Structure 1
Amino acid sequence: MEHRPANVVNIHDAPSKDYQEGQHWGGSYQPLTPVLDQQKGRLGVNLTRLPPGRAGCPFHSHALEDEVFYILSGRGLFRYGDKICEVGPGDCLSCPAGSGVAHQLANPFDEDLVYLGMGRNDPNEVCHYPDSGKVLVRSLGQVGYLEKAAYMDGEAELPKIFSMHRK
């Protein structure tokens, strides 16, 4: 048998990564596209297992990254904007970026929810978390809360560029 190239990954060989926090958040996933994952902004696919009683992540919307979820087994709840519906095997969920509509998957049922998650890992992504008011700015490596400020708030009377020029 020939050696398989790095861009061919069998699910049985993909490492599983746990991302659970507390009693009700997270599950595990297996990255199926490590060759694409090496360069940010490329399409990626993960196989995700969400155990009973857990939500995959907080309710959020994306500015740049479209996401698609394809349910393989189990049942779950899909929250999209102000609507919620039950999802199961064969359902494909589309979450377009830039719409301002947040989404979330959760599993209140008694067996694992297993699905493929597909999307880009954009280095410039900005996410909004409406339930908590948080904002993620990936390029800054920060999640936090924004406070309103005037455009010139905190800026020096003499712009720094002028003192830099004199040196």
Structure 2
Amino acid sequence: MSEENSPPLKLSQDDLNYHQGSGYPAPYDEICRDRQKAKIGDIFGLNQFGVNQTILPPGQASSQRHWHTDEDELIYIIAGTATLITDHGETTLTAGDYAGFKAGNPDGHQLINKSDDNVIVLEIGGRSQADEGHYPDIDLLIDEPRYEGKLARFKHKDGSYYED
């Protein structure tokens, strides 16, 4: 790999480029419309696992409540106070707290910012091509996590696809 195409040796906060919103089809995108995500793993060229830094403004969520068949996930709260929602109810996470989600465990998870300040979260997870994402509360399923260069291809639970 040429030096100009090589990933950086280090990054600082100022090097991060955030994108806003999510790839969810409407109306499921609304709860993530203002979230900001920087794909740190992509910057370093990582392909076995992903690393993201996500900023959740007040009232926004990290995702719809979901679980993965073939990808573990780990989150770390860098700043702020978030509410973790699972089948067990709500758990408050503050700066310095971790939470982990084992692949195949059908207990969906979601972070929501119910505070008045931004929440900053570090997210680490797998990049399995065999993974399915399940959304227990809504009519949504992902069974093609990397579809034609897009992040995901979404289906209804009856197997029909949302419009691309």
TM-score of the aligned structures, taking structure 1 as reference length: 0.75
Other-structure match for 2:135: 129
How far 1:133 sits from its partner (Å)? Answer: 3.5
How far 1:7 sits from its partner (Å)? Answer: 4.3
**Which stretch has the larger CA shift, 98-107 or 134-143?**
134-143
Deviations for 1:61-89, whole angstroms, at most 9, x for unmatched residues? 10011110000111010012232111101
Q: Structure 1 residues 53, 73: CA separation in 2 closer, same or farther (over 3 Å shift)?
A: same
**Which stretch has the larger CA shift, 121-130 or 66-75?**
121-130
> 2-side partners of 1:7 and 1:125: how far apart?
29
Q: Structure 1 residues 120, 7: CA separation in 2 closer, same or farther (over 3 Å shift)?
A: farther
User: Which 4+ stretches in 1 moved above 4 angstroms?
Assistant: none
Q: In the alignment, which of 66, 74, 79 is matched to residue 68 of structure 1?
A: 74
Other-structure match for 2:158: 147
Other-structure match for 1:25: 32
Consecutive unaligned residues of structure 1, counting only runs of 5 or more, are 149-167
Deviations for 1:108-158, whole angstroms, at most 9, x for unmatched residues? 11000101000112222201101014211125653122339xxxxxxxxxx
Task: Say whether the 8 Å CA contact 2:32–2:62 is kept in structure 1.
Answer: yes
Q: In the alignment, which of 84, 89, 107 is matched to residue 90 of structure 2?
A: 84
Task: Say whether the 8 Å CA contact 1:127–1:136 is kept in structure 2.
Answer: yes
The amino acid of 2:128's aligned partner reads D
Other-structure match for 2:7: 6
- Number of positions where the alignment pairs a residue of Structure 1 with one of Structure 2: 141
How do 1:32-43 and structure 2 match up within 5 A? Answer: 32-34=40-42, 35-37=44-46, 39=47, 42-43=48-49
**Which stretch has the larger CA shift, 45-54 or 7-16?**
7-16
**What is the RMSD computed on CA atoms of the aligned residues?**
2.1
> 2-side partners of 1:73 and 1:108: how far apart?
14
Deviations for 1:7-34, whole angstroms, at most 9, x for unmatched residues? 4233311211112643x32400112222
Q: Structure 1 residues 137, 101: CA separation in 2 closer, same or farther (over 3 Å shift)?
A: same
Other-structure match for 1:116: 122
The amino acid of 1:6's aligned partner reads P
TM-score of the aligned structures, taking structure 2 as reference length: 0.77
The amino acid of 1:11's aligned partner reads Q
Task: Say whether the 8 Å CA contact 1:36–1:43 is kept in structure 2.
Answer: no
Task: Say whether the 8 Å CA contact 2:7–2:45 is kept in structure 1.
Answer: no
